[in-house]
Chain A
Amino acid sequence: MEKTLNQKAWFLVLPVFLLVAFSAVIPLMTVVNYSLQDTFGNNKFFWAGLEWYTELLHSERLWSAFGRQIIFSAIILAIEVPLGVFVALNMPKKGVWASLSLVLMALPLLIPWNVVGTIWQIFGRVDIGLLGHTLAALGIDYNYTRDPLAAWVTIITMDVWHWTSLVALLSYAGLQSIPEAYYQAAKIDQASRWSVFWFIELPKMQGVLMIAILIRFMDSFMIYTEPFVVTGGGPGNATTFLSIDLVKMALGQFDLGPAAAFSLMYFLVVMLVSWVFYTVMTNLDKKAGY
Chain B
Amino acid sequence: MSISTAPRRPWINPKALVMIAYIVFLLLPIYWLINMSLKTNEEIISVFTIWPRHLTFANYKTILTDPAWYMGYVNSMIYVVQNVVISLAVALPAAYAFSRYRFMGDKHLFFWLLSNRMAPPAVFALPFFQLYSSIGLFDTHIAVALAHTLFNVPLAVWILEGFMRGVPKEIDETAYIDGYAFPRFFVRIFMPLIASGIGVAAFFCFMFSWVELLLSRTLTSIDAKPITAVMTRTVSASGMDWGVLAAAGVLTIVPGALVIYFVRNYIAKGFALGRV
Say whether A4 faces chain B, with CB atoms less than 8 Å apart.
yes
Interface residues of B in 209-260 (CB under 8 A from A): 210-214, 218, 227-228, 231-232, 242, 245-246, 249, 252-253, 255-257, 259-260
Residues of A within 8 A of B36 (CB): 122, 128
- Tell me, rounded to whole Å, the shortest Cβ–Cβ distance linking A157 to chain B: 9
Q: Is there contact, CB below 8 Å, between A130 and B28?
A: yes
Residues of A within 8 A of B84 (CB): none
Residues of B within 8 A of A23 (CB): 128, 146-147, 149-150
Which listed segment binds A: B14-22, B55-63, B188-196? Answer: B14-22
Contact of A267 among B120, B231, B259 (CB under 8 A): B120
A169 to B94, CA, bound (A): 27
Q: Is there contact, CB below 8 Å, between B94 and A221?
A: no
- What 0/1 pattern do residues 142 to 168 of B give for CB contact below 8 A with A? 000011011001100100000001000
Q: Is there contact, CB below 8 Å, between B32 and A123?
A: yes
Q: How many residues of A contact B (CB 8 A)?
A: 95
Say whether A165 faces chain B, with CB atoms less than 8 Å apart.
yes
A interface: dominant SS? helix
A190 to B106, CA, bound (A): 47
- For A172, the closest partner residue in chain B by CB is B268
Say whether A183 faces chain B, with CB atoms less than 8 Å apart.
no
A102 to B90, CA, bound (A): 30
A129 to B14, CA, bound (A): 30
**Given contacts A102-B264, A119-B30, is CB(A263)–CB(B123) below 8 Å?**
yes
**Given contacts A87-B18, A104-B26, is CB(A99)–CB(B101) below 8 Å?**
no
Say whether A71 faces chain B, with CB atoms less than 8 Å apart.
no
**Given contacts A114-B231, A246-B122, A267-B120, is CB(A12)–CB(B252) below 8 Å?**
no
Say whether B273 faces chain A, with CB atoms less than 8 Å apart.
yes
Q: Is there contact, CB below 8 Å, between B268 and A30?
A: no
Interface residues of B in 71-110 (CB under 8 A from A): 86, 89-91, 93-94, 96-104, 106, 109
Say whether B68 faces chain A, with CB atoms less than 8 Å apart.
no
Q: Is there contact, CB below 8 Å, between B267 and A169?
A: yes
Q: Is there contact, CB below 8 Å, between B115 and A3?
A: no
A242 to B120, CA, bound (A): 10
B interface: dominant SS? helix
A12 to B130, CA, bound (A): 30
- Tell me, rounded to whole Å, the shortest Cβ–Cβ distance linking B241 to chain A: 12
Q: How many residues of B contact A (CB 8 A)?
A: 99
- Tell me, rounded to whole Å, the shortest Cβ–Cβ distance linking A77 to chain B: 16
Residues of B within 8 A of A19 (CB): 86, 90, 146, 149, 153
Q: Is there contact, CB below 8 Å, between B109 and A13?
A: yes
Contact of A250 among B126, B165, B242 (CB under 8 A): B126
Residues of A within 8 A of B242 (CB): 122, 128
A229 to B36, CA, bound (A): 18
Say whether A141 faces chain B, with CB atoms less than 8 Å apart.
no
Q: Is there contact, CB below 8 Å, between A274 and B114?
A: yes
A110 to B224, CA, bound (A): 21
Which listed segment binds B: A48-56, A145-153, A173-181? Answer: A173-181
**Given contacts A6-B101, A174-B276, A176-B276, is CB(A270)–CB(B94) below 8 Å?**
no
Interface residues of A in 2-60 (CB under 8 A from B): 2-10, 12-13, 15-17, 19-20, 22-24, 26-28, 30-31
- What 0/1 pattern do residues 248 to 279 of A give for CB contact below 8 A with B? 00110000100100011011001100110010
A174 to B242, CA, bound (A): 42
Q: Is there contact, CB below 8 Å, between A112 and B211?
A: yes
A173 to B162, CA, bound (A): 14
- Tell me, rounded to whole Å, the shortest Cβ–Cβ distance linking A259 to chain B: 7
Contact of B214 among A2, A109, A225 (CB under 8 A): A225
* Beyond A23-B147, A112-B227, A246-B122, 13 additional pairs, beta carbon < 8 A: A5-B102, A15-B90, A24-B124, A105-B22, A105-B23, A113-B213, A114-B213, A115-B228, A119-B29, A123-B29, A250-B125, A251-B126, A271-B118
**A contact set with B: CB distance below 8 Å:** 1-10, 12-13, 15-17, 19-20, 22-24, 26-28, 30-31, 86-87, 90-92, 99, 101-115, 118-120, 122-123, 127-131, 133, 161, 165-166, 169-170, 172-174, 176-177, 207-208, 211, 218, 221-222, 224-225, 229, 242-243, 246-247, 250-251, 256, 259, 263-264, 266-267, 270-271, 274-275, 278, 285, 290
16 sampled A-B residue pairs with Cβ under 8 A = A20-B113, A90-B15, A91-B19, A99-B265, A106-B260, A110-B255, A111-B256, A113-B211, A119-B30, A119-B33, A119-B249, A169-B271, A172-B268, A173-B269, A270-B120, A271-B115
